[in-house]
Chain A
Amino acid sequence: MKTIYLLIVLFPLVGALIAGLLGSRIGREGAHWVTSLSVGISFALSLLVLIGLMAGWVQPFNGTVYTWMVSEGIRFEVGFLVDNLSAMMMTVVTFVSLMVHVYTIGYMSHDEENWPAGSLAGVNAYQRFFSYIALFTFAMLMLVMSNNFLQLFFAWEAVGLVSYLLIGFWFNRPTAVFANLKAFLVNRAGDFGLLLGIGAVLFYFGSLDYVEVFAAAEADPDRTMSIFGGAEWKVVTVAGILLFIGAMGKSAQAPLHVWLPDSMEGPTPISALIHAATMVTAGIFLVARMSPLYELSEVALSFILVIGAFTAFFMGLIGLVQNDIKRVVAYSTLSQLGYMVVALGVSAYAAGVFHLMTHAFFKALLFLGAGSVIIAMHHKQDMREMGGLKQYMPVTYWTMLLGTLALIGFPGFSGFFSKDAIIEAVHASDRAGAGFAYLMVLLGVFVTALYSFRLFFMVFHGEGRMDHHTREHLQESPRVVTVPLILLAVPSVLIGLFTIGPMVFGGFFDGAIFVHRANDVLAYLGQDYTGPFGFIAHGFVTPPLYLAAAGVATAWFLYIKRPDLPPVIQSRLRPLHAVLENKYGFDDLYIKGVAGGSRALGGFFSRVTDARLIDGLLVNGTARSIGWAAGVMRRLQTGYLYHYAFVMIIGLVVMLTWFVFGAR
């Protein structure tokens, strides 16, 4: 089996290398064929593995590929852990990636227009793009298939690298190169935590191998360490929170969320692939994978819960005031990631991962749909210039509608099952912070429906607000774009219905995700679970469904019935609107406060301590003093022999005196 797993990761890597290094030789066609094919093979093999695991003719695998290094007998390895959790992730990653590959053929077909005249970097940009997304697929697969912390960190940073390269893909745009630097640095702030977490794991559990670490933690769960003075912290709590800080960076949880909206500067296919469906869910995956560790620390889980709840609601709110179509979807992603994190926080890991999967499909669909709109609009993204696109783009319209319904949790759609499972789990949990979280996720449902249909109505319904030239050229996107939309719409609608049973309430994740019996809210909910249709029926007696309906109704009233109202509301609620426009001031705090502060400090060190103190006072000061002393000494050197003789005699006398009387 190891060979198959190797092939799954190596195909995209080889595809990326061919497209990247030989891009000019194989041309555009060659590049998109080689990468799409390689990712396609990866997908087929991953699906095979998943089916095999479910049917039982493949056993979970945990083995080493090669030993990176051995230090002091501790092995740092690269290896695979393939069980139901990773196989599910592998399948989702490769499927979405394949869809995005195909879609990109259409989306980037006129990419040369995005490059300035005479740019040599623009010549092979198309091939480079394919190389990057295939490379991303490789890195993401390495991440979900890892069996140890070292490789996790490797892949973690590697996906960050590709994200950096892709956000800044059109690097002649100042906004893009601002956004990619910001994304990398904020992610590095998260990785800072992750690395320290790995340090804690190695120190206290003596290994970097998942299975060994979990066993060591389980064996001594109450071990403590001191960080501030004498206060003792549980090691699992400290390690758990540190590792989660890494997850917060990658999965854009407040306050490390600021990079994700800006990442929309990248081409839309990667917004779908990296910044919605896969990379940003790495943090969710991380915590789920570490569930045996997190189960030992109530404190860490409560921390996770509160962070997720805050993100789920407050980031959704910002989505209400955005006018850039991609940014609305981006804030929606932040909010949905918050839901997943909330699920982790109440030990409903399976529900979190389940939402991760359904979200991957419908959010990729929404992004690619938004991209299709952007193609039609000649790369304009402002929704205030759209409207009435329904009649021009039927496929995009209908698939977007399905995706939106899945997102807001329309009964029977995939998002309904995953979101309701989370909300119910939070409701059932008695963990510290669960009450707050429950309120946040409930309110979040209303907000989600409101911003989703605000987008939908502003783009597809009502009067067309675009200029004449754009209107004349409006048309449905080509088939390479619409076919992926359709293929993504299918699981967006259906996958929840078929998988909620095994994944959330069944034993699908047994052996991969571990929950203490006392924490197991999903098992508690499972007692009443009678099947997907019973779950739907239950949905009609809980608040989320009605909150979502209210959200849709509000959106309809404000953007279809009375489009004159939103500006009025906006001016009435100006202070609140301003707070949302400013995104609660996080950006200002980081850019002016943190970045500005460090630069000021660096400037001080550079100009004052280094230049004035060390160089000015000590180094050149010493040189000057020596120069002065030399000047004095020079005057002694008169050139008269008797002067020298006199000094010599004096010196001799002094030395003799010292020898005779001094050194006894």
Chain B
Amino acid sequence: MLESSWPLLSLLIWLPILGAVVVLALGDDREEQGRIVALGTAALTFLFSLGLITGFQSGTAAMQFVELRSWVEALNVNYHLGVDGISMPLVVLTTFSTLLVLIASWRRITVKPALFQACFLMLNGIMVGVFSALDAILFYVFFEVMLVPMFLLIGIWGGANRIYATIKFFLYTFIGSVMMLVALVYLQFQAGGSFHILDFYGLDLPLNAQIWLFIAFLMAFAIKVPMWPVHTWLPDAHVQAPTGGSVILAAIMLKIGGYGFVRFSLPVVPEASMTLDWLMIALSLIAVVYIGLVAMMQQDMKKLIAYSSIAHMGFVTLGFFIIFAIADRTGGSGMLLALEGGMVQMISHGFISAAMFLCVGVLYDRMHTREMAHYGGVAHRMPVFAGFFVLFAMANAGLPGTSGFVGEFMVILAAFQANFWYAFAAATTLILGAAYTLWMVRRVMYGEVTSDDVAKLEDVDRRELLVLAVLAAAVLWLGLYPAPLIEIMEPSLENLLEIVAAGL
């Protein structure tokens, strides 16, 4: 393990939380200062998180930037942090998204602005904690606490039906995580009293115990991803959430589900993962096809993007759980391609879903409606915005050259190695994804200007332009040159495959 000379990960967790406290202390009366502090903290956190990239040693699967302190000695719970090639990109994605959200919602919120900003800062710190915790209990704490700011975000700044959505969101995700706690405690017993996550790897557990553990983890992570049929909280939550909440929800929180599968399910209970891979593959393909069809029928832009998120996350879980079927057929080659595809898809979806929700936010701020029927001909009034919108829509439809293509391409190629029909079903996204996304483009952007409200629309201002341009750059960068990202991930994923193979 590579110890770091100074606690960078702690900084990334506690700096934004400290910032949140300051913003809250300043209160709504000193809103202007509060906003500056919030933005400054987020910017600083993002800058520090770049240190993870520059200081990261690729070529090793070891945990890096490790911090280890005793926390609850009686229970052998430690404050134990570290990142590898799997979690590091997700940490940076978190700080990046938070900064963008704070820029995008600059002066947009009039109700309790201090709490609003503080929620995002807290989320930032907590989610970095989720991705970098190496102690199971620490992970669990971050995992649970994360719900609170998001609960507040939807509950206070949400739309008309926000109470139903918050309760649904909270219960769904809470029920999932309670199951996980039981699993973690059980594993601690098996691991000789250690809560260190890496100590859970390679335990010699009987298959039926593994299956119960797998199900417990599945409850926690499948709901987060979300996978069919536990997905229905997501469209409701998105529709009710304010723009920034949607961005964080889609860009980061869903990834925690995917992250959980690679951090826990696959390495801790490999045999159960293999036994139940048919279920995971089936649910993933249902997400792609079934949810793709559902997305086509949406009238509300946010709902459409929410369903599209579920379909895209289907590629993540497909990539993760198809590896056993690939191994069966090829004896090993192609497994890494599948895992990497799933991971790249997570990062890419972080950019694209953030961009899509921000685009809807830009429109919502002006028109106060998300119904596509109220739009039409927007491109006549907002040509610059239309350019971005079409770019992100194309990325969402998986156009090569954008990040949306990379992960899907890798997973489909890998799926072919497992079974022609898996690849066949997965590849329908080429048609379905284009159908629902471009259908939205057509209805919202193209056509004649349909209403007086549309006729009065103003194009993006400088702040919006900045946010969209940064995301566009990210989407294109990852689409045109994914090599660096894969280089960072590969050793850790290779190591993961070794752990999985050893456990079978």
Chain A residues with a Cβ under 8 A of chain B? 66-72, 74, 115-116, 118-124, 153-154, 157-158, 161, 164-165, 168, 171-172, 174, 177, 181, 184-185, 188-189, 191-192, 195-196, 198-200, 202-203, 225, 227, 598-599, 601-603, 605-606, 609-610, 614-615, 618-619, 623
Contacts and interface: CB of A to CB of B under 8 A. Distances in A.
23 contacts: A66-B481, A70-B483, A71-B336, A71-B337, A72-B334, A72-B336, A118-B380, A119-B449, A158-B401, A161-B394, A172-B446, A174-B448, A181-B438, A181-B442, A184-B434, A188-B431, A188-B434, A199-B416, A202-B416, A603-B297, A609-B290, A619-B233, A623-B171
Contacts of A118: 380, 449, 455
A286 to B, nearest CB: 16
A123 B377 CA distance: 15
A157 B399 CA distance: 7
The 9 closest A-B pairs by CB, nearest first: A199-B416, A602-B293, A119-B380, A171-B446, A154-B400, A177-B446, A602-B297, A69-B483, A121-B383
Given A158-B401, A603-B297, A69 B380 contact: no
A181 to B, nearest CB: 5
Interface stretch (B20-28, B65-73, B74-82, B421-429): B421-429
B251 to A, nearest CB: 22
A68 B483 CA distance: 6
A66 B481 CA distance: 9
A558 to B, nearest CB: 40
A120 B427 contact: no
A121 B482 contact: no
Given A71-B490, A119-B380, A602-B296, A177 B448 contact: no
* Most interface-central of B399, B430, B445, B449 (chain A CB within 10 A): B430
Given A72-B333, A618-B229, 12 more contacts: A66-B481, A69-B482, A72-B334, A120-B382, A154-B400, A154-B401, A174-B448, A184-B438, A185-B435, A598-B435, A606-B293, A606-B297
B212 interface: no
B486 A71 contact: yes
Contacts of A69: 406, 481-483, 486
A145 to B, nearest CB: 16
A610 B445 contact: no
Contacts of A122: 380
B413 interface: yes
A189 B429 CA distance: 10
A121 B449 CA distance: 12
Nearest to B449: A116
Contacts of B382: 120
Interface of B: 168, 171-172, 229, 232-233, 290, 293-298, 330, 333-334, 336-337, 340, 377, 379-383, 386, 390, 394, 399-401, 405-406, 409-410, 412-413, 415-417, 420, 423-424, 427-428, 430-432, 434-435, 438-439, 442, 445-449, 455, 459, 480-483, 486-487, 490
Contacts of A605: 290, 293-294, 297
Given A181-B438, A199-B416, A599 B297 contact: yes
Contacts of A72: 333-334, 336-337
B70 to A, nearest CB: 36
DSSP class of A's interface residues: helix, strand, loop or mixed?
helix
Given A124-B383, A172-B448, A192 B431 contact: yes
B447 A598 contact: no
Main SS of the interface on chain B?
helix
Given A116-B449, A172-B447, A199-B416, A598 B296 contact: yes
B412 A199 contact: yes
Given A122-B380, A174-B447, A177-B446, A68 B431 contact: no
Contacts of A185: 431, 434-435, 438
B54 to A, nearest CB: 21
B233 to A, nearest CB: 8
A153 B399 CA distance: 10
Contacts of A189: 431
B413 A199 contact: yes
Contacts of B386: 121
Contacts of B377: 172
Nearest to B386: A121
A195 B334 contact: no
A582 to B, nearest CB: 24
Contacts of B445: 171
A146 B428 CA distance: 26
A573 to B, nearest CB: 37
A125 to B, nearest CB: 9
A423 B426 CA distance: 41
B500 to A, nearest CB: 15
Q: Which among A71, A177, A603 has the highest number of chain B CB atoms within 10 Å?
A: A71
A243 to B, nearest CB: 13
A619 B232 CA distance: 9
B400 A157 contact: yes
A169 to B, nearest CB: 11
Nearest to A189: B431
Contact of A599 (B296, B336, B400): B296
Contacts of B400: 153-154, 157-158
Contacts of B428: 192
Contacts of A66: 481
Nearest to A74: B337
A67 B482 CA distance: 9
A606 B294 contact: yes
A409 B337 CA distance: 51
A601 B293 contact: yes
A196 B431 contact: no
Contacts of A181: 438-439, 442
A119 B446 CA distance: 12
Contacts of B172: 619
A118 B449 CA distance: 10
A356 to B, nearest CB: 24
A596 B199 CA distance: 54
A374 B432 CA distance: 37
Contacts of A67: 483
A438 to B, nearest CB: 35
Nearest to B380: A119
Given A69-B486, A121-B380, A602-B294, A116 B401 contact: no
Given A68-B482, A171-B446, A203 B416 contact: yes
Q: Which of B168, B394, B427 has the most CB of A within 10 A?
A: B427
A316 to B, nearest CB: 29
Contacts of A161: 394, 399
A557 B179 CA distance: 84
A161 B394 CA distance: 8
A171 B439 CA distance: 13
Contacts of B171: 623
Nearest to A75: B483
A602 B299 CA distance: 13
Contacts of B390: 165
A230 to B, nearest CB: 14
Contacts of A121: 379-380, 383, 386
A123 B386 CA distance: 14
Contacts of B427: 192, 195-196
A615 B439 CA distance: 26
Nearest to B230: A614
A249 to B, nearest CB: 11
Contact of B168 (A171, A195, A619): A619
Contacts of B490: 71
A116 B459 contact: no
A595 to B, nearest CB: 8
Contact of A614 (B232, B333, B415, B459): B232
A153 B412 CA distance: 14
A614 B413 CA distance: 32
A54 B431 CA distance: 42
Given A172-B447, A185-B431, A615 B297 contact: no
Nearest to B298: A606
A119 B171 CA distance: 48
